[in-house]
Structure 1
Amino acid sequence: MSKSILLSTPHLGDLELEFVKEAFDTNWIAPVGPQIDAFEQEFCQVTGAGDAAAVSSGTAALHLALRLVGVELGDEVFCSTLTFIASANPIVYQGAKPVFIDSDRTSWNMNPDLLQEALEKRARIGKLPKAVIVVHLFGQSADIDPILQACNQYDIPLIEDAAEALGATYKGRYVGTCGRIGIYSFNGNKIITTSGGGMLVADDSKLVAKARFLSTQARDRFPYYQHSEIGYNYRLSSIASAIGRGQLRVLPQRIASRRRNFMIYTSALGNLPGIEFMPEANYGQATRWLTCLTINPQAFGADREQVRLALAAQQIESRPVWKPLHLQPVFAECESIGGAVAEDLFTNGLCLPSSSNLTDEDLQQVINGIIEVHHSKNR
């Protein structure tokens, strides 16, 4: 039996264990101390962010971001629809209601024209959203400038969900550093990992300081425990931070490996009828965190699900692209602006194994599996 080829696995370097040992040797294990301070500082150095707060997950970072920009009970927040549910769940945590915006074909991310039109309509009726969450999907930046321009026109804070896109660029800038607040994830499947963890960044250090305050149960500055606000237990541990410091050192190599995966896939599969890969928008460089493609069943001879199941039979993990949030039962009553593009991408889209530690043999096995499906259906 051949080994399993998984979608996206952790890939550790040589320094993570050294930093973890340093944390143990100095007895800094709790979510405080030099490892977490250094991780935040080094993260800013890498990304160009003004300030950063390391927290327990990307979801926690997004929840804090919404709290920081004042999202409250009864508010509405515009959000990309083609994304993981964690992009929208924190909206509900705050008692607010998500409104979902469709994707464009250029990047698969939020359509700036739809956002602009929606904000213009809302401005006319005096019902603007409290914030906009734009997601940078599968390692590729959304078209930030027109999105940010639309938000600034109506003084609406833009939150960048860069959970899947650490290292991606937009016109030379790292995504997550362009809006009011950016958030990242270090979950086990991300391009770098701390096992579980996240980061909140902003150029406004007061916002980041408030994030740290809220993430440590909002304890007031007294010698005893006094609390004037509701806070959360969201701070990242020193051990996870130590892992993150080592992972940051290999981020460029991890991006290069994932982009190499994409190039190998496109070279081998790009000429098959009905296969189209997720495009790379010309305004930046994607990390190709996941290599994604769409399958036209009429042209290819099999649909997305048939390909996925054929790969699974060979112990190769692939996965449909995100089911749009406006189609999720839990959000059935929420408004959606557009949706046809995201629905089409979900129906036909497939994410291929994309780990940065895949071997050439692994990649060839995935490629052969897809080609075999095509040949078997077109004999």
Structure 2
Amino acid sequence: MKSDKIWLSSPHMGGGEQKYVQEAFDTNWIAPLGPNVSGFEQDLERYLGGQCHVAALSSGTAALHLALLVLGVQAGDEVICQSMTFSASANPIVYLGATPVFIDSETTTWNLCPIALENAIQDRIRLGKKPKAIVAVHLYGVPFQVEAIQAISKKYEIPIIEDSAEALGSSYQQQKCGTIGDIGILSFNGNKIITTSGGGALVTKDPKIKEKVVFLATQARDQAPHYQHSEIGYNYRMSNVCAGIGRGQMEVLENHVRARRAMHAFYLDIFKNIKGVTVFQATSESYANYWLSAIIVEESKTNGITREQLRLLFEKENIESRPLWKPMHLQPVFANCPYYGTQIAESLFEKGLCMPSGSNLTDRERERIQKVVADLFLNNSNELQQ
């Protein structure tokens, strides 16, 4: 009999979500507005601190799209974007008719390489195409090199859109991720550390930006007794029902962060004596939620065992794992976009594997994961050498 599936990162309900959803039904607030929407925004604002203002939206992608819009990105512009990320970091740039300029990773945080970033900015300026924004990602919940990226942003006066889709609960020097950039974005997709089924948020310290974002997200309706539109708008507001799920999830966010960090510690332990395998870790200045725990498998140091062998063995045992994000500059859809850097992101992609990291994994499931690792790296059976 096949064992139950172990997912990479499945939704994890805390139990309090239903009361907020039931309130939405009881009061007939089944719409993209209502008390849960404002309540969820306030919950996030309290959690993030720093006098931030939050707009709850239909997705993290919508938040990125609106962040670019309010920063004035238009057709023909260029926007710097981290290459090692999910495509949603780059797609909204193209929605606006702008061009992504992709930047390599550095080896410490796997995020934006400051050297490649500055080289790119200088080169684009030389070509008469100064970038309008920098999309910087906290990959897998690990903060980027904040001081270095902020210094470059300030030097060239290019705002940072902080892609914290994977980083709610992470912080850098005690500042919450999502509040570090000029504009931050969050995601509450089903696989994220908390979920609203589908949803996202934009974070800003400027109440006027929030006001503008909410206006654009509700079809840009002018103040009038009839429907009047002076700008193109979008149907991007979060529903009151989804926001109710979010309110319940906020009650267990810290528990989820602790559980994800415990999974990371679990991987540090089971790989500590396995030569050639390194568990991805944040720097000492950062507190990572470890939304996904990831490893690097160096074939030259593991007696020929590869990342792909481990992934396929997990698959055989009904355990989900996956390679790291394929860098955007290697994606067919972005083949003609500028790229700056070397092959760090490419090397990480070839050797890296995201491990099951859910906050709801059981001891029995961890035992199954550990057994696969032991069978491959320690027992080194004949079957696995074929």
Which TM-score band (shorter chain)? over 0.9
2:279 — aligned with what? 277
**The residue matched to 2:286 in structure 1 has which SS?**
coil
* Equivalent pair of 1:80/1:103 in contact (CA under 8 Å): yes
Higher mean alpha-carbon deviation, 90-99 vs 20-29, is at 20-29
Q: Give 1:339 shift.
A: 4.1
In structure 1, list runs of 5 or more residues that go unmatched: none
Q: Which amino acid is the alignment partner of residue 314 of structure 2?
A: L
User: What SS class does the counterpart of residue 289 from structure 1 fall into?
Assistant: coil
SS in 2 for 1:77: strand
Counterpart in the other structure of 2:4: 3
CA distance in 1, matches of 2:128, 2:96: 21
Aligned to 1:101: 103
2:80 corresponds in structure 1 to 78
Q: Could you list the per-position Cα deviations for residues 83-139 of structure 1 after superposition, in whole angstroms to 9, with x for gaps in the alignment?
A: 000100000000000011111111111112221232233344442101110011001
8 Å contact kept, 2:59–2:198:
yes
For residues 336-355 of structure 1, the aligned pairs below 5 Å read 336-355=339-358
Question: Could you report, residue by residue, the CA deviation over 1:209-243 in whole angstroms, capped at 9, with x for unpaired residues?
Answer: 10000000000000100000000000000000011
Structure 1 letter corresponding to 2:49: G
User: For residue 183 of structure 2, what is the amino acid of its counterpart?
Assistant: I
Deviates more, 1:118-127 or 1:4-13: 118-127
1:269–1:367 contact (8 Å) kept in structure 2: no
2:213 counterpart residue number: 211
Cα RMSD of the aligned pairs, angstroms, is 1.3
1:17 counterpart letter in structure 2: Q
Q: Distance in 1 between matches of 2:268 and 2:239?
A: 40
Which residue identity is paired with 2:12? H
Return the alpha-carbon distance in structure 1 between the equivalents of residues 172 and 114 of structure 2: 15
Matches of 2:335 and 2:272 in 1, distance apart? 36
After TM superposition, list the pairs within 5 Å mapping 1:302-313 onto structure 2: 302-313=305-316
Please list, as runs of the form range in 1=range in 2, the aligned pairs for 1:284-295 lying within 5 A after superposition: 284-295=286-297
Partners of 2:277 and 2:196 lie apart in 1 by 34
Deviation per CA, 1:236-268, whole angstroms, max 9, x where unpaired? 000000110110111110000010011111111
Number of matched residues? 379
> Which letter does structure 1 place at the counterpart of 2:108?
T
Match of 2:359 in 1: 356
Cα offset for 1:364? 1.8
Q: TM-score by structure 1 length? A: 0.98
- Return the alpha-carbon distance in structure 2 between the equivalents of residues 213 and 138 of structure 1: 31
For residue 333 of structure 2, what is the aligned residue in structure 1? 330
Determine what percentage of the aligned residue pairs are the same residue.
Answer: 50
Whether the 8 Å contact between 2:132 and 2:158 is mirrored in structure 1 is: yes
Aligned ranges 1:1-379 → 2 under 5 Å: 1-48=2-49, 50-300=52-302, 301-374=304-377, 375-376=380-381
1:162–1:184 Cα contact (<8 Å) kept: yes
Q: Distance in 2 between matches of 1:170 and 1:111?
A: 17
**1:101–1:339 Cα contact (<8 Å) kept:** no
Q: For residues 364 and 67 of structure 1, what CA distance do their matches in structure 2 show? A: 48
Is the 8 Å Cα contact of residues 43 and 247 (structure 2) preserved in structure 1?
yes
Unaligned runs of 5+ in 2: none
Structure 1 residue 279 displacement after superposition: 2.2
SS at match of 1:114: helix
